[in-house]
Structures are given as structure tokens and as C-alpha cells.
């Protein structure tokens, strides 16, 4: 990265305008810089947490001087009479004076969407390597972050082995289905997943708020005919809908659907959330799609309901389009993990002509996975440096 070349205090000392030697410019507000000061009186030297509140910073904070030396900016703040140094790279990485021309449904540039052409080998790790080598684990977790799915081969076909996969990066999310659940044909199934029926590609548990953000499905037996797994990139599906029918996309994003699960016994879960979730600035943050647990939708205005249903139907058609799905049949000892806010999973029906199929599933959350990945990445950089 290039260094800072000039600093100019402007706007009545409320702003500093910085220029880098490659011509990049960015303005920063006095209060923003003061709040983000990196000195040990503002941030703890041991854990980097902020020691002050905004009320500790005078409301009329100004920049009285700004100078560049040794690749860093030094700013003097009044009325506190405080000098703070900001590294050039830190300022560049945190510049906010940039034109963000983002269409609704934009996704982070670090994500890659995919369709049926996607080679699942790109996100497949070998159990022995991912469990033994940091670099292999890093690659495997980064596939989940980037593509929303990863597969693991060559693991033990042992009950409970999926918990060791979750422990690679984080923590199991225990639910009414238990710490993990058995996915095999049951006589009085608590969920249609525990039958031989085919399942349309779906996200799990949209009736839960918050939804589990990760799901692991681990195969112990799969000799039955059928029972192939499918995964579909929900972000790619949402983008297709947006491109074909922006109004339909907008309806699914702007109005809440309702989801419900009434289990046997004492479980009753309900949620009121959109099928396509956008952040306030339009980032596509989650998809909820599950025919089994969509409840009566009552939050769409009467005049929009027909178009809403047309968009819901079209989204389902896109998800069912063979051009979107990647299919594979899990072998015993294999598993896959999906980002349950993005990638839908389904299966073909099985069990009509003998054989057995037994999967175990569990939920976990993305915070732990992203944290582990970030630490592995930082360690890798530190080892190179």
C-alpha cells in the first residue's frame, strides 16, 4: 500500500482531507477520528476494547493540526489538547469517504455465487488433512465463507462424529431436536426430514429466530437407492429473481412471511421474517425458504398478495431449476456443511427398494466459524511476515 502524501484541515476544522501518493483521497471527520483513536487511554492495550464513551469526547471536537511523519498521520484535537497518531494503512483500510454504488441485493465482494456448473471438489476437504493441518482447515472454512458450502470426505462412519466437525471451528447450537438429530426413516416422525420423502431444497428452521446459521449433515449409512443430496446457492437464486423481476424481489424482501413449527409435545416455534432479507443499505443477508414450515402469510397488503405469490412461486422455480443445483450422494463418513442463511439443501426420496440411509445433523453458528477462520488467517500472515 502507498503512503500518505498530504493532510489538509478543512470545513472549519471539522474535517481532515488526506491524499495518498497513488492519488487516493479520503476525508475524515474530527469526531470520527477522535472516537477511533488508537492510543492506550482510548483503547485498552490488552484487549483493544474502547475505554471511553462518546460522552467523554467534547461535542465540539475540532482538528487543530494534522501532520504526516513516518507513514502516519498525527492529529491534534481541541478542546482536549490531545495528540493521536493514526497509521496510514489503518486510515486507508477504514476510509468511508467512498462512493458506494450498490444495487439492492448486493453481496460482499468476498462471496462467489455458483450454479450447477460448480465443481464441489473445490470446496471438498479430506478429513485427515482438515483435522490435522491449519492450512487445510483454513481452506475448508474459507470455502464456507466464500461459497456457503463445504464437504468433508474420509471421516469415521461413527455416531456423533459430526460433533467433532463442529468442534473444528465452534459450538453446536442445541435445539428442541437435541444437540444433534437422527435423519432416518421413523414411524412417527417429528419432522418430514425423518422419512424417505424427497425434500425440496430449503433452508432449515426458518421458524426459529434467530435461525441456526450453519448446518452439518453427516452420513453414516447410504445404501438405499436415492437419497442424493442437493445444494443450491440461494444468493444466486435471489439474484436471478432480482434480475428477472425486480418488483417481485422487492416484495419478498419488503414484506414478512411467517413460519411455524408445531412439534409433537411441547414445542411451538413461530417467526415473522422475510424470505429475502436485506440490511438497511440493501445487502443480501439471508434467505428463508421452506415449503414445509411456511405458515399463513398475513403481513402482505391485500393489493400486493397476488404479485407476492407470483414472486414466491418464481423463486421456487428458480431453486428447483436443475441448472442451479449441485448434486452428490454422500458416502458413509462424508458430510457437508452449509451456511443456512444462504445455501439451501434438499434430497431425493429413498427407501422404496431396500437398503438403509442414516444421516446425523446438527446446527452451529457462523460467528464461531468466522472467528476461527480469522485467527487462522492472521496466524498465517504472522508466520509469513
Binding interface with ligand OGA (CB under 6 A):
183, 193, 199, 204, 217, 229, 345, 347, 359, 361
Nearer to ligand OGA, 142 or 229 (CB): 229
- Least distance between ligand OGA and beta carbon 215 (Å): 7
Closer residue to Zn ion, CB minimum distance, 13 or 200: 200
Distance CA 291, CA 281 (A): 28
CB closer to ligand OGA out of 124 and 230: 230
Q: Which residues contact Zn ion by CB under 5 A?
A: 204
Closest separation between CB of residue 345 and Zn ion, Å?
6
Selection from Zn ion, ligand OGA, none that 147 binds (CB < 5 to 8 A by kind) is: none
Nearer of residues 155 and 212 to Zn ion, judged by Cβ: 212
Residue 172: contacted member of Zn ion, ligand OGA, none (CB under 5 to 8 Å, by partner type): none
When CB distances are held under 5 to 8 angstroms depending on the partner's kind, the choice from ligand OGA, Zn ion, none that residue 359 binds is: ligand OGA
Our CB check for Zn ion shows the closer of 204 and 250 to be 204
Angle between helices 134-147 and 366-384 (to 10 degrees): 130
Which three-class secondary structure string do you get for 139-206?
HHHHHHHHHCEEEEECCCCCCCHHHHHHHCCCCEECECCECCEEECCCCCCCCHHHCCCCEEEECCCC
The distance of closest approach from Cβ of residue 203 to Zn ion in the complex, given in angstroms and rounded to an integer, is: 8
CA–CA dist 344, 275 (Å, integer): 12
Distance CA 220, CA 337 (A): 15
Answer with the entry of ligand OGA, Zn ion, none that 347 interacts with (C-beta below 5 to 8 A by kind).
ligand OGA
**Nearer residue to ligand OGA within complex by CB, 197 or 305:** 197
183 binds, among Zn ion, ligand OGA, none (CB under 5 to 8 A by kind): ligand OGA
The answer to whether residues 377 and 138 touch, using CB atoms and an 8 Å cutoff, is yes
139 binds, among ligand OGA, Zn ion, none (CB under 5 to 8 A by kind): none
- Distance in Å, CB of 351 to Zn ion, minimum: 17
Three cell numbers written together for 187: 414411524
Q: How far is the CB of 211 from ligand OGA (least distance, A)?
A: 12
Q: What is the end-to-end Cα distance of the chain in Å, rounded?
A: 16
φ, ψ (nearest 5 deg) of residue 74: -110, 130
* Bridge partner list, 230: 327, 346
Among ligand OGA, Zn ion, none, the one that 361 touches (CB under a kind-dependent 5 to 8 A) is ligand OGA
CA distance 276 to 266: 30
Beta carbon of residue 86, minimum distance to ligand OGA (angstroms, whole number)? 48
- Please state the φ and ψ torsions of residue 87, each to the nearest 5 degrees: -60, 145
Residue 204 or 233 having the CB closest to Zn ion: 204
Instruction: Provide the minimum distance between the beta carbon of 361 and ligand OGA in the complex, in angstroms, as a whole number.
Output: 5
> What are the C-alpha distances in Å from 352 to residues 19, 152, 196?
69, 28, 8
Parallel, antiparallel, or unpaired for β 149-153 and 124-126?
Answer: parallel
Tell me the residue number closest to Zn ion, measured at CB: 204
Amino acid at each position: 500500500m502507498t503512503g500518505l502524501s498530504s493532510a489538509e484541515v478543512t470545513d472549519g476544522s471539522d474535517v481532515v482531507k488526506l491524499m495518498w501518493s497513488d492519488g487516493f483521497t479520503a476525508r475524515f471527520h474530527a469526531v470520527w477520528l477522535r472516537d477511533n483513536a488508537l492510543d492506550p487511554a482510548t483503547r485498552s492495550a490488552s484487549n483493544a476494547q474502547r475505554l471511553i464513551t462518546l460522552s467523554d469526547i467534547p461535542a465540539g471536537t475540532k482538528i487543530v493540526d494534522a501532520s504526516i511523519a513516518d507513514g502516519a498521520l498525527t492529529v491534534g484535537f481541541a478542546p482536549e489538547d490531545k495528540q493521536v497518531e493514526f497509521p496510514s494503512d489503518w486510515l486507508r483500510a477504514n476510509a468511508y469517504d467512498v462512493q458506494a454504488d450498490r444495487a439492492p441485493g448486493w453481496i460482499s465482494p468476498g462471496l462467489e455465487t455458483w450454479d450447477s456448473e460448480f465443481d464441489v471438489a473445490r470446496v471438498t476437504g479430506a478429513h485427515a488433512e482438515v483435522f490435522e493441518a491449519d492450512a487445510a482447515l483454513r481452506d475448508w472454512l474459507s470455502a464456507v465463507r466464500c461459497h456457503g458450502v463445504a464437504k468433508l470426505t474420509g471421516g469415521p462412519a461413527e455416531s456423533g462424529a459430526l460433533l467433532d466437525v463442529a468442534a473444528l471451528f465452534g459450538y453446536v447450537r442445541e435445539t428442541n431436536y437435541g444437540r444433534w438429530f437422527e435423519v432416518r426413516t421413523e414411524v412417527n416422525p417429528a419432522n418430514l426430514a425423518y422419512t424417505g420423502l424427497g425434500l425440496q431444497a430449503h433452508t432449515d428452521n426458518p421458524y426459529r429466530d434467530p435461525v441456526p446459521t450453519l448446518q452439518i449433515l453427516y452420513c453414516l449409512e447410504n445404501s438405499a437407492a436415492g437419497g442424493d443430496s442437493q445444494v443450491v446457492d440461494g444468493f444466486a437464486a435471489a439474484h436471478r429473481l432480482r434480475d428477472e423481476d425486480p418488483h417481485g424481489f422487492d416484495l419478498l424482501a419488503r414484506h414478512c412471511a411467517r413460519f411455524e413449527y408445531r412439534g409433537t409435545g411441547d414445542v411451538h416455534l413461530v417467526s415473522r421474517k422475510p424470505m429475502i432479507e436485506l440490511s438497511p443499505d440493501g445487502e443480501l443477508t439471508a434467505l428463508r425458504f421452506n415449503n414445509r414450515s411456511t405458515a399463513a402469510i398475513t403481513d402482505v397488503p391485500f393489493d400486493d398478495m397476488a404479485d407476492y405469490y407470483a414472486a414466491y412461486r418464481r423463486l421456487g422455480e428458480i431453486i428447483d431449476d436443475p441448472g442451479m443445483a449441485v448434486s452428490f450422494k454422500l458416502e458413509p463418513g462424508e458430510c457437508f456443511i452449509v451456511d443456512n442463511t444462504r445455501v439451501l439443501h434438499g434430497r431425493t426420496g429413498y427407501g422404496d427398494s431396500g437398503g438403509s440411509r442414516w444421516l446425523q445433523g446438527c446446527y452451529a453458528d457462523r460467528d464461531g466459524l468466522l472467528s476461527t477462520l480469522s485467527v487462522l488467517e492472521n496466524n498465517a500472515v504472522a508466520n509469513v511476515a
